[in-house]
Structure 1
Amino acid sequence: SYSSGDVINGCGEQPFVHVLDIRQKSLKCDYCFNTSNKSSAQLKRCSKCLQMFYCGKQCQREDWYWHKYECPVYVTTGAADTALLANDYMARLLLRLWLLVDNRPELQRKTYRCFNGQSRCLAELESHTQDIDGDDYRALQFSQLCTFYDGLNVSYNRDRLFTLYGQLLINSFAITIHDIYYENVKTGYALYIGCSVFDHSCAPDACVQFDGPMAAVRAVRDIPAGQPVFIHYISLDDCRSDRRQRLRSQYYFDCNCSKCCAEELADNSIVYDRFKDLQRKLMICFSDESCGRLNDTFGQLDELLTIGDQIYGPTHPELAALLMIGLQYRLTCPDADHRRHRESLSAYIDRTGRAIGQSFGTDHHIECFPPFVMTFGTKMGDNKDIHEESGGGGGNGTNGDGQSPGHAFAQLFQSMHDLSDKLLALDY
């Protein structure tokens, strides 16, 4: 059995193959995605192909497992083809996978232990080649990839490459993080053999969380022993018809999970529309302090969290991100009277801290230290103790100790509880 917040797949899983999103190129390490906290200015290029960027020798050595096969291709590729290759993540991911297994065919039968005790290998992954062959868009994409590889003088077997293409389409993950505004940002794409064992449900038992390219499957609810564990392949904030259409077009199956069956009887698309409308309104208010009245905004925030709890559940990372947005808004809003509401604000801080702890764990790397911690002391009347002890005062994207923003969530979790205690202790 698993409790909410437990990591189901041991200590997480490293990818079988992965690539960095093109928008992160030269900004993040191609191997670790900067979980080592190196800044972009400190990244070093591969001296041979000049296409890969690393934190240092250690990351470069680790990535050589894959890069040694693709590096010669990059070296002989012209600037125009390099740009085309870089901009198509599937072209890079498929090329990397093909070159790896073509040079080391035994890896297709290398087994990986899954959470349920079963073993699985690359050769056993579903490919849906018949469905893809009948899909005009994807069949055309594969044909274009083959033509592109021909131009790069890459030798390949078309049937074997097509199988790998299908396996990537069906089983790969987009690696996402929450940025400074707590929105999902793609940082890369990867194939995980162990994680591929999890089936989809729109009412999932767990979700896949990424720390760099490491994938952890974390329970979002208590799961009894022996019960199948489902994750979600797509965003959950779409209505039933949109979710089913996307699953059918991307993964070639009709979803009949408990949530889809329940919503078939009661169409609640208006709830999803309201949820997205509230998100848009609050993000505008979040960036424009002059919009709306404070009480209206807080009311909309409460409504958003209520609907979000229904869609995601109380310990899903997306709800934790919404709580962070709400907390930052409360603490940075110029009209908020924290002295009047310090007990309710304290409870909100505790709720957010618990959600983060269960959603992300206490050792997850955070992209940027939340701005509300930096500004908290000012909003509480320039209380120096709160400002400094909560990590403020860095002034340059670091915390009070000069530590880089990529520290673990554990410190944020503890900081929020410290803030909560100080709120109740303040004497006005």
Structure 2
Amino acid sequence: MTIRDLHGHSLSGANAAAAEHFDAACALLRCYRGDPLAAAMAALEQAPRMTMAHVLVAYLNLLGTEPAGLAAARDAQARAAMLPADEREALHVRAAGCLAQGRWHEAGRVLEDLSIRYPHDLLALQVGHQVDFFTGRSRMLRDRIARAESHWHEGMPGHHAVLAMLAFGLEETADYARAERLGRRSVELEPHDGWGWHAVAHVLEMQGRRSEGIAWLRRDSAHWSEGSFFAVHNWWHLALFHLGLDQLDEVFTLLDERVLGTASPVVLDMIDASALLWRLQLRGVPVGERWQALATRWAAASEGSAYAFNDFHAMLAFVGADRMADARRLLEAQREALQQAGDNAAFLRDVGHPATLAIHDFALGRHAEAARRLREVRPVAHRFGGSHAQRDLIDLTLIEATRRGGDAGLADALQRERAFVRRG
């Protein structure tokens, strides 16, 4: 008897119990909550030769951009590659292999083809969506999901996730009205869908609707935060809304209790902590010793340069904590990575290395040089990943660097530009 997943796709090497654990893992991943890796491992305990369970383990170890997860991901992908696979599964195995070797763009194309042939493969859509996010491909964040959307309808398991991903893609392509509508609908269908909450938060951030953003995220924070490994990022969004309204007491409460105070060693959480502390520092708001522990965590997680976007945020922590030896070590690691294979070399060359150098320059008081570097990378900043809201840090730093560097005309022009864009 052929064992199939929740959406009717065959699962080579699976039995009924393993398929149940696999579907549970995918459902958790769709909402960014619980422990999908544990559920995937439970599937393998039931069926050690289940190809897609090995693939899922590989994906879960790759999509956090954690250097420590790379060995486990490569092992899982290698195991999957030795097992039977149908056409769909073989494409997943290939995509996971590309990711494990740092070939992000190729992985995205493989998953693109997979989704065209199998539009109900929600794992392929979700992993592809994340690849588009990490490579800064705003249009594909929308188009990958838009191509599959008409194959889905309400009542299908996971339909909420399709809406949430499409909402985020629409937001990143500035289609704010449709993005907000679909994001809110995804949350209506599944209140625990952290990506749906996140998509609407991005809409409200990009439109400067800060009071509405606070109301949105505080409306039912338990649904998007409890048991969620995406909670820190949404708390970060809430802190940004409060920061935009100069409500610093609320910002520091969220920073200390929800963003920084968790002492999370997860890279994506550390990115949010660095970004929030740097925004405060650019405003001249004292942050005390908060940089120190964060920089220690970054030092443990950034021995080399695996992903340029992470490096940029590690540098914020190193200079914030005045750990200039670590800052120099990171720059040297980037220079070495520029000579290596994989897409990170391009991420570094186009944006990551000059942007990280700019932060180093800024910290040393070389504000004009920092501004020059940031001005050059700003038009192509999407090439090293992240969202518009995250990359806004480049704009904010550029404005402050021009001000401190004495270029009052450019600083004023950038501020006027920012005010116009945020008015919508």
TM over 0.5: no
Choose between structure 1 and 2: higher strand proportion.
1
Larger Rg: 1
> Which of the pair has the greater relative contact order for Cα pairs under 8 Å at 6+ separation?
1
User: TM-score when scaled to structure 2?
Assistant: 0.30
